[in-house]
Amino acid sequence: MNTITNSPETLRAAMVDNVKAAGHATSPAVEQTMRSVPRHKFVPEASIEDAYADIAVITKSASDGSALSCASVPTIVAMMLDQLQVQPGNRILEIGAGTGYNAALLAQLTGPGGAVTTVDIDAEVTAGARRGLDATGNEHVDVITRDGSLAAAENAPYDRIIFTVGAWDLTPEFWQQLAPGGRLVVPLRWRGQTRSVAFVRDGDALVSDSMDLCGFVPMLGQEGERSGTIDTGDLVTLFWDIDQTIDTEKLSGVLDQPKEVAWSGVTVGPYDSFDGIWLRISGTDSRTCRIATDKAAVEAKLCTPAIAVRSPALAEDDSLAYLAIRKAGDGTHELGAIGHGPYGHALAGQLCDETKAWNKDREALPALRLYPAGTPNSAFKFDSDIFFGQVIEKTTSRLMISVS
């Protein structure tokens, strides 16, 4: 083996170059930090090549093979650090200790005048993070074993809070412990999708200023999402939130009913993302959910969503429609929708209308505001250019999504 070519330093430099090429680590501080912190020392059981590849390194799995803890993909790490905008001297709370690598990055970003606390519910995970941090000269990072939903009042208030686990809800502790004007970055889940959202605190509201598509190991103990299959072979699953009235018993067998197919006329290239359709429709239609289809259902043409494992859908009573895609013949693909049931045609048409609206400004993002549960509607702030809005009722918070 060529020890020079495959040295940690060379591979780390290549990793950061790749992160930069992907459009992340835009801050010079984030770039320099990622170039200096040795990621391989936090994943000692992985090969040097895997430690610096743009992949998630799984460090703990459940009995069914699902990931319980990992070192996140470097491009996602950089993306979220860009969103967090750490300043020297910041007090920082991290929810989800992982390997300790992200806490080490945070410690370098905030410097000797700041402080970093990282929390995880799993004692085995925090022990591993502690070892990695100690081995890299980060003994000053406070590692706490605790349910992350409780945060860490002993070191509050925090100028910055970052989640490295997926969260469906935010508990009151985060309003109590985030300083006025502080920033909170969280992979937030709603209507079946996950976005890394950067919020800035404005009084009792958390107001978004950026969001990016992502996926994370879910936070334990949050039961706000429901799921159920809608076919006899249990190959097609819907995912929805507890504030929705979706009933999979009513939808059972709906895919056996005739298809209502509609096409939008909107085309995408091979590298074009169209996840913005899902993001937009979650702010305009309370029936939005996620559909996931097993490969066997796709091959049998029982259910053929645009992306088999995750596509937006609309569900109402005993009817359903989901986003679909077909070849356009010129290297592009056309987006449309397939509906089933009495309202299938109307639901498919609605999805096409949303696709056309998204196509007018593909970069547009909705505005998100997160409030504590119990906040009256009269306290919600709408901008003058807001055309549509939805309020999603979570357990301990209320999420307002508004689309212009």
Residues 50 and 188 in one domain: yes
Residues 289 and 324 in one domain: yes
pLDDT band at 1 (very low <50, low <70, confident <90, very high): very low
Domain closes at, from 326, 341, 360: 360
Residue 379 lies in a domain: no
Residues 194 and 262 in one domain: no
Residue 77 lies in a domain: yes
Return the active site residues: 69
Q: Please classify residue 243 by burial: count the beta carbons closer than 10 Å to its beta carbon, then call 0-12 exposed, 13-18 middle and 19+ buried.
A: middle
Residues 112 and 193 in one domain: yes
- The pLDDT assigned to 3 comes to 46
Q: What are the Cα distances from residue 207, in Å, to 49, 191, 254, 371?
A: 39, 19, 39, 9
Residues 182 and 243 in one domain: no
CATH of the domain at 16: 3.40.50.150
The predicted-structure confidence for 183-212, as pLDDT tens digits, reads as follows 999 999 999 999 999 999 999 999 999 999
Q: What value does the mean pLDDT take over residues 2-6?
A: 58
Structural domain including 250 reads 225-360
- The pLDDT assigned to 71 comes to 78
Residues 317 and 232 in one domain: yes
CB atoms near residue 89 (< 10 Å)? 12
CB atoms near residue 129 (< 10 Å)? 30
Residues 180 and 300 in one domain: no
- The pLDDT assigned to 219 comes to 75
Q: What are the Cα distances from residue 365, in Å, to 166, 167, 209, 377?
A: 20, 20, 10, 22
| Torsion angle in degrees (nearest 10) through CA of 192, 194, 195, 198 | 110
Name the strand (E) or helix (H) holding 265: strand 260-268
- The pLDDT assigned to 2 comes to 47
pLDDT, mean over the chain: 93
The predicted-structure confidence for 64-73, as pLDDT tens digits, reads as follows 666 667 778 9
Q: What value does the mean pLDDT take over residues 325-329?
A: 92
Q: What value does the mean pLDDT take over residues 325-343?
A: 95
3-state secondary structure of 55: coil
Residues 85 and 131 in one domain: yes
Q: What value does the mean pLDDT take over residues 290-311?
A: 97
Cα separation, 196 vs 387, in Å, equals: 24
pLDDT band at 324 (very low <50, low <70, confident <90, very high): very high
- The pLDDT assigned to 379 comes to 74
pLDDT band at 247 (very low <50, low <70, confident <90, very high): very high
Residues 189 and 229 in one domain: no
Cα separation, 314 vs 273, in Å, equals: 20
Total tally of structural domains belonging to the chain: 2
Of the candidate ranges 53-67, 108-122, 148-162, 245-259, the one whose mean pLDDT is the lowest? 53-67
- The pLDDT assigned to 217 comes to 73
pLDDT band at 57 (very low <50, low <70, confident <90, very high): confident
Residue 173 lies in a domain: yes
